[in-house]
Chains A and B, each alone.
Chain A
Amino acid sequence: MHPILATVLQRLGLGLLTLFLVSIIIFSAIEFLPGDFTEAVLGQSATEETVAAFRRELGLDQPAYVRYIDWIGSVAQGDLGQSFSGRASSGIDRSRSVAELIAPRLSNTLFLAGMTAIVAVPLALILGVTAALWRGGIYDRVVNAVTLSTISMPEFLVAYLLILFLATLNPIFPSLADVTSATPFWERVTKCALPCLTLTLVIVAHMMRMTRAAIINLLASPYIEMARLKGLKPSTVILRHALPNAWAPIANVVAFNLAYLVVGVVVVEVVFVYPGVGQLMVDAVTSRDIPVVQACALIFAGTYILLNLTADIVSIATNPRLLHPR
Chain B
Amino acid sequence: MADDLLLDMRDVVIDGFSDERWHPIVRGVSLTLRRGEVLGLIGESGAGKSTLGLAAMGFARPGCRLTSGRIVFDGIDLMTASETKRQALRGSRIAYVAQSAAAAFNPAHRLIDQTVEATLAHGLRPEAEAVEDAKALYAAMKLPEPNTIGFRYPHQVSGGQLQRAMTAMAMSARPDLIIFDEPTTALDVTTQVNVLAAMKEAVERFDTAAIYITHDLAVVAQMADRIKVLRHGREIEEAETAEMLARPKDPYTRSLWAVRSIEKPARAASEPILEIAGVTAAYGSKPVLHDVTIRVPKGRTIAVVGESGSGKSTTARVVTGLLPPIEGTVRFDGAGLPPALKGRSKEQLRRIQMIYQMADTAMNPRHRVSEIIGRPLTFYRGLKGRAREEEVTRLLKLIELDESFADRLPGELSGGQKQRICIARALAAEPDLVICDEVTSALDQVVQEGILKLLMRLQEELGVTYIFITHDIATVRAIADEIVVMHQGRVVEQGPKDDILSPPHPDYTALLLASVPTMEPGWLEGAVIRQSALHAPD
Contacts and interface: CB of A to CB of B under 8 A. Distances in A.
A317 to B, nearest CB: 12
B88 interface: yes
A222 interface: yes
A245 B107 contact: yes
Given A231-B91, A318-B108, A223 B103 contact: yes
A230 B90 contact: yes
B98 interface: yes
Q: Which of A220, A223, A225, A241 has the most CB of B within 10 A?
A: A223
A225 B108 contact: no
Given A225-B98, A244-B109, A320-B108, A326 B90 contact: no
B91 A229 contact: yes
Interface string A309-326: 000000000101100101
Interface string B79-105: 000000011111110011011100111
Contact of B105 (A223, A229, A233, A321): A223
Given A231-B90, A233-B87, A326 B156 contact: yes
Interface string B47-65: 0000000100101011000
B340 to A, nearest CB: 30
Contacts of A320: 107-108, 153, 155
Contacts of A229: 54, 57, 59, 90-91, 95-96
Contacts of A228: 59, 90
Contact of A231 (B108, B122, B155): B122
A326 B155 contact: yes
Contacts of B387: none
Contacts of A9: none
A226 B96 contact: yes
Interface in B133-174: 152-153, 155-156
Contacts of B104: 222-223, 225-226
B106 interface: yes
B146 to A, nearest CB: 19
B362 interface: no
Contacts of B86: 231
Contacts of B57: 229
A157 to B, nearest CB: 40
Interface string B22-58: 0000000000000000000000000000000010010
By Cβ-Cβ distance, the 5 closest A-B pairs, closest first, are A231-B90, A230-B91, A230-B118, A231-B91, A244-B108
11 contacts: A221-B103, A222-B104, A226-B105, A227-B117, A229-B54, A229-B59, A231-B89, A231-B90, A236-B121, A241-B108, A321-B155
Given A220-B62, A229-B96, A231-B118, 20 more contacts: A222-B103, A226-B105, A229-B54, A229-B57, A229-B90, A230-B117, A230-B118, A231-B87, A231-B88, A232-B87, A232-B91, A232-B117, A232-B118, A233-B121, A240-B109, A244-B108, A320-B108, A321-B107, A321-B155, A324-B156
